[in-house]
Structure 1
Amino acid sequence: MITGKNYIGSQLKASGSKTFKTFNPQLNEENPWVFTEATPDEIDETVALANNAYKVYKNCTGTEKAAFLNAIADEIMALGDELLAVYCAESGFPKGRAEGERGRTILQLRSFADMVAEGNWVEATIDTALPERQPIPKIDLRKMLVPFGPVVVFGASNFPFAYSTAGGDTASALAAGCPVIVKSHSMHVGTGEMVASAVIKAAQKTNMPEGVFSNLNGGGVVVGGSLVRHPLVKGVGFTGSIKGGRALFDLASQRPEPIPVFAEMGSINPVVLLPQAIEQKSASWATAYAGSITLGTGQFCTNPGLLLGIKSDALSSFVTQLSEEIEKISPSCMLHPTILKNFTNGKKELQQQDGVRTVAEIKSEIAPNYAAQTVLVVNGKTFLENTRLHQEVFGPFSLIVECENEAELIAIIEKLEGQLTGTIIAEEAEIINYTGVIAALQNRVGRLIFNGVPTGAEVCPSMLHGGPYPASSDSRFTAVGIHAVKRWVRPVSYQNWPNALLPAELQDDNPLGISRLVNNKQTI
């Protein structure tokens, strides 16, 4: 079922000469499939198709888009275990992880389908005319959200389903009414092609316009850069490193017509360990965080990479227990030798910094492409002075900072870059005494967690997966949940338009039966 070709709309094409393969990290060898990188002409053809599709797709009804999104979910499930096998061969993840991530992807698609079928998401607002108003008559104004054009989505290395070909960015853009061009991640192009085939089948079955979805291969940065610079592309979705996200952001900003790049990038997800909590429940929190740090070999954007506590016997006990628990866990496979190399180099660099000591690290021999989970400790003064210690090490790694007091703890939080999550481990009776810590943490993160672990992002309307830069390129938006649709739309006002020519969402008789704000009153 894997051809190695590019989906340009529904057509499979491979006119280029540059090819590459994916890698099986569990077997430590290349996978058999050969993939052909998209050529400049194929890129131009793809974007032109998407632009033409936009002229039709933007006018599709919510019911039509819902049928499309649900059909994508159905077609992905129809690929069965063969899709899961390719996912595992290209990621090194076990089948259970593949099934779980597929389920999340299906949930995302169906959630957006329900949203567009209901129709309220367009935020329709109506202010009717008052021609007799003095001294100036009031005009008729009506406003709603509309899709802004073709979107490029970059697949994420660590989520071949949920943040890639038919993941959250793609699902939300299609829900908005924007055609999508996926630049498939080079580490799981086979998985991407199979999922793309499901999207194409769904588009055909539901009579979507040709070019509403395309999937292009690229082994380096050329294809992605060309897509971002293309004048007909109007937005970009990205999940990955700060370096990659910032490069795309800069490219998009330098265009004659700059476009938005919604990038979810690095995060070390600070965890604050308050004294009473670790004194009373040190062992249970140590077990929980050993599991969170190593979950998915630490390859989660919400991995708890920084633990902050106030120096005490309880904190020392927690450090000992966490070290013991994390060394009990068997090492697991990383996504690719390159990611393992970056992990190894990153943790070694931090280990070599002055004042840093290693308290946990797997020393026994492990299989190729497996990562040795590691925990380091440093004091608060050293951490404040050395910003290199603030940087993410992508993998099963965490740094514990022993603060002298609450003031130093707050100073450290305030000096951190923007983060996806911030967690406070506390007894309810003690947290009221740390309002300064809470306020500082809220200012640096997108999601505040109380007595939990940051790994995992529930797919629901109240989820905020984003945060101040560099956690994301725009902290006003989420990459998870139905509100992610707002990244791909813009508001448009209609002034004094004839009722019959208005979009159905703004017509007087409300033919769609949606909730609208009419003259400052919410109505249906």
Structure 2
Amino acid sequence: MISGKNYIGNKQSSKGTKTYRTFDPNLNLATEWEFYEASTEEIDEAVALATKAFSEYKNFSGLKKAEFLRAIADEIEALGDALIQAYTKESGLPEGRAKGERGRTMGQLRAFAALLEEGSWVEATIDEAQPDRQPMPKVDIRKMLVPIGPIVVFGSSNFPFAFSTAGGDTASVLASGCPAIVKSHPMHAGTGELVSSAILKAAEKTGMPNGVFSNLNSSGIEVGQQLVMHPDIKGVGFTGSIKGGTALYKLANERKEPIPVFAEMGSINPVVALPSALNEKGEEWAKQYAGSIMLGAGQFCTNPGLILGLKSETFSNFITTLGTEISALSPGVMLHPNIHQGYEKGKQNLSSQPETSVVASYEAATAPNFAQQKVLKVSGGDFLKNPTLHTEVFGPFSIVVECNDAKELETILNALEGQLTGTILGNAEEIKNYGGVVDALQSRVGRIIFNGVPTGVEVCPSMQHGGPFPASTDSRFTSVGTSAIKRWVRPVSFQNWPQESLPDALKDANPLGLTRIVNGLHSNAKLK
């Protein structure tokens, strides 16, 4: 049952006077659920509970935290159809997508649990003392990663499960030993409340301290601002727009004690179609990219919003086929009227640029909130001159750029802002002749793809989901995969510390059986 209340630790609360409803974009109607926006008092209470919980939770073993994460996955699954129905009602996304995303979310939680059970992620390193070293004795130094404190997680609009209440940010926060306070996304607050209930049931079953998790409702920006500015908050995870992410980043750095904001933001995900790809599989790639642009009504941060190629007959044929294929696809419903309005505004802005021509534009009437797809074309020279054409349009939209030669293509890639992904279509021999293009693309992205589509982000240790600004605020970190845990920890060295007082990960006896770096060498052995 959805109550519309906040979760302040393990208790529901509705002290605020401001309320709002979520929206069913398919019916174009508000849902029956009314939500209470968190008050300043509730925000302070949630942070106080998280701070108190941290003093205990940070010392929990990896096995105990893993038990908690696995229990969360089990409790999410136990919610059954009620959770799926709330997801589809509040997002407009189909049931198959909901079930797939739920599976991904549970998989992420279990992947972090496995990471904790193995344990070596803490990067324990030991450099033993050398008292007889000349000219100066060497002291005993040991180092490992430790959690930083309560973290605020901002739920995303486009992934109500995988990047929201119990998504990758929350899973990695809890895995690290930090409490999580989720600022629920207003577009799917009901879904968020149900998932929160699963998290808290798991916390109770596994003996977690009250305050290890809270869920706060908010229809605007005020609750998020208060959380980021609270002196006891130690970090922020965000998935959303460039405007929202940069505002939080700026706010966090204006604090007396600045804190890290790990924001995954906008991207147009450039795709380079080399001649061999067009000669060998041009029609097939055009069909695949029409589907990729339209996937989820274009509401993916990895949507291919920019396709570049060398001016030629085969590239012209590719463009024509892309237009034909994408025009034949049915528009999809967007997550919310506000997102649909933003899409139409962005599409109109880029379409009004005088240098562009239309490749495809779906003009038939649609139901409210359905996104009519569009593809534009522009020359490489005009694209370079007009930065407006470099901006992201969140929805089923893409621009095709015809470049005169490889040099112009390379110049365009170097002129782009940071991106989450970049893709090259070609063959293994051909890319050897385009080293400058490959290098330029790699310098602008976090993930470089060969012969594929960018939509779809595999959850695994090798995934990098982040890129140079403004794709993310820190390109050294990822928001997907188990390496995401590194955002919520910091290294601490212990010098000449008594054995009995050292963390288990650094003790000579290696009671956790970790793989450690000992005197410069990897080892899982006990020290003599």
| TM-score calculated relative to the size of structure 2 | 0.99
Find the residue that maps to 1:38 and give its secondary structure.
coil
CA distance in 2, matches of 1:85, 1:131: 66
Deviation of 1:428 after TM superposition, in Å, equals: 2.2
Amino acid at match of 1:15: K
Q: 1:482 corresponds to which residue?
A: 482
Alignment of 1:231-310 (within 5 A): 231-310=231-310
**SS in structure 1 at match of 2:371:** coil
Residues in 1 aligned to 2:478 and 2:336: alpha-carbon distance in whole angstroms? 28
SS of 2:244's equivalent in the other structure is helix
The alpha-carbon deviation at position 282 of structure 1 amounts to: 1.1
Residue 429 of structure 1: CA displacement? 2.4
What amino acid is aligned across from residue 116 of structure 1 in structure 2? L
Once the 2 structures are TM-superposed, how far is the Cα of residue 171 of structure 1 from its aligned partner?
Answer: 0.2
Q: Return the letter of the residue paired with 1:334.
A: M
Report the Cα distance in structure 2 between the residues aligned to 1:164 and 1:427, rounded to whole angstroms: 38
| Paired residue secondary structure (2:421) | strand
Aligned residue in 2 for 1:46: 46
Q: C-alpha displacement at 1:281, in angstroms?
A: 1.0
Q: Distance in 2 between matches of 1:298 and 1:92?
A: 13
Q: Secondary structure at the match of 2:505?
A: helix
Query: Does residue 1:182 correspond to 2:177, yes or no?
Result: no
| Number of the residue aligned with 1:523 | 523
**One-letter amino acid of the structure 1 residue matched with residue 270 of structure 2:** P
The residue type paired with residue 425 of structure 2 is I
Query: Which residue number corresponds to residue 396 of structure 1?
Result: 396
Show the counterpart of 1:32: 32
Q: Structure 2 counterpart of 1:284, which letter? A: E
Q: Which amino acid aligns with 1:280?
A: E
What letter corresponds to residue 338 of structure 1 in structure 2? N
Match status 1:15 vs 2:20:
no
Q: Deviations over 1:454-500 (max 9, x none)?
A: 00110000000000000000000000000000000000000000000
C-alpha distance in structure 1 between counterparts of 2:55 and 2:128, whole Å: 29
Matched residues in 2 for 1:281 and 1:134: separation? Answer: 67
Residue of structure 2 equivalent to 1:513: 513
Separation of aligned partners in 1, 2:134 and 2:427: 60
Q: How does 1:204-215 map to 2 (within 5 A)?
A: 204-215=204-215
Aligned counterparts of 2:49 and 2:454: Cα–Cα separation in 1: 40
**Mapping of 1:84-95 within 5 angstroms?**
84-95=84-95
| Counterpart secondary structure, 1:188 | helix
SS in 2 for 1:21: strand
| Residue equivalent to 2:76 | 76
Summarize deviations over 1:264-310 as a string: whole Å, max 9, x none: 00000000010121122111001100000000000000000000011
What is the deviation of 1:241? 0.2
SS in 1 for 2:107: helix
Output one character per residue of 1:178-210: Cα deviation in whole Å (capped at 9) or x when no partner. Answer: 000000000000000000000000000000000
Residues in 2 aligned to 1:409 and 1:521: alpha-carbon distance in whole angstroms: 45
Paired amino acid for 2:485 = V
Give me the whole-angstrom Cα distance separating, in 2, the residues matched to 1:311 and 1:445. 24
1:16 & 1:338 partners in 2: Cα distance? 25
Structure 2: how far apart are the matches of 1:278 and 1:107?
37
**What amino acid is the match of 1:63?**
L
SS at match of 2:399: strand
Which residue is equivalent to 1:380? 380
**Residue matched to 2:124:** 124
1:173 aligned to 2:160? no
Cα offsets for 1:59-84 (capped at 9, x unmatched): 00001000000000000000001100
Superposition pairs for residues 453-472 of structure 1, below 5 Å? 453-472=453-472
Q: Secondary structure at the match of 2:332?
A: coil
Whole-angstrom CA distance in 1 between matches of 2:259 and 2:431: 43
* Alpha-carbon distance, 1:441 to partner: 0.3
Q: How far is 1:427 from its partner? A: 2.1
Aligned counterparts, 1:342-491, within 5 A:
342-491=342-491
Does residue 139 of structure 1 match 2:139?
A: yes
Structure 2: how far apart are the matches of 1:313 and 1:365?
A: 33
Give the secondary structure class of the aligned counterpart of 2:26: coil
Unaligned runs of at least 5 residues, structure 2: none
Counterpart CA distance in 2 for 1:247 and 1:476 is 20
Residues 58-116 of structure 1: per-residue CA shift (max 9 Å, x gap): 00000100000000000000000110000000000000000010010001000000001
Shift of 1:511: 0.4
Task: Give the 4+ runs in structure 1 shifted more than 3 A.
Answer: none
Structure 2: how far apart are the matches of 1:316 and 1:461? 39
Helix, strand or coil for the counterpart of 1:202?
helix
Q: Distance in 2 between matches of 1:425 and 1:474?
A: 28
Q: CA deviation at 1:412?
A: 0.3
Q: Distance in 1 between matches of 2:476 and 2:327?
A: 39
The alpha carbon displacement at 1:432 in A equals: 1.1
What SS does structure 2 have at the residue aligned with 1:363?
coil
Take 2:341 and 2:253, find their aligned partners in 1: how far apart are those partners? 31
Letter of the 2:155 counterpart: G
Tell me which residue corresponds to 1:194. 194
Counterpart of 2:198, as a letter, is A
1:115 partner amino acid: L
Q: Which amino acid aligns with 2:275?
A: P
Match of 1:153 in 2: 153
Structure 2: distance between partners of 1:127 and 1:379: 58
Paired amino acid for 2:34 = V
- Alpha-carbon separation, structure 1, partners of 2:284 and 2:428: 17
Two-structure CA RMSD over aligned residues (Å): 0.5
1:331: which partner in 2? 331
User: What amino acid is aligned across from residue 174 of structure 1 in structure 2?
Assistant: L
Aligned-partner SS, 1:32: strand
Q: How many residues end up aligned between the 2 structures? A: 524
Partner of 1:314: 314
**Whole-angstrom distance in 2 between the partners of 1:70 and 1:468:** 33
The residue type paired with residue 336 of structure 1 is H
C-alpha displacement at 1:371, in angstroms?
A: 0.4
Inter-partner Cα distance in structure 2 for 1:168 and 1:280: 38
What whole-Å deviation, never above 9, does each CA across 1:7-31 have from its counterpart, x for those lacking one?
Answer: 0000000011100000000010000
SS of 2:333's equivalent in the other structure is: coil
Identity %: 63
State the shift of 1:358 in Å: 1.1
SS in structure 2 at match of 1:452 = coil
Residues 343-397 of structure 1, C-alpha deviation per residue, up to 9 Å, x if partnerless?
A: 0110111111011011101111111100001100000111000000000000000
Matched residues in 2 for 1:343 and 1:364: separation? 17
Q: Provide the TM-score with structure 1 as the length reference.
A: 1.00
Q: What residue identity is the alignment partner of 2:345? A: N
State how far apart, in whole Å, the 2-side matches of 1:53 and 1:409 are. Answer: 53
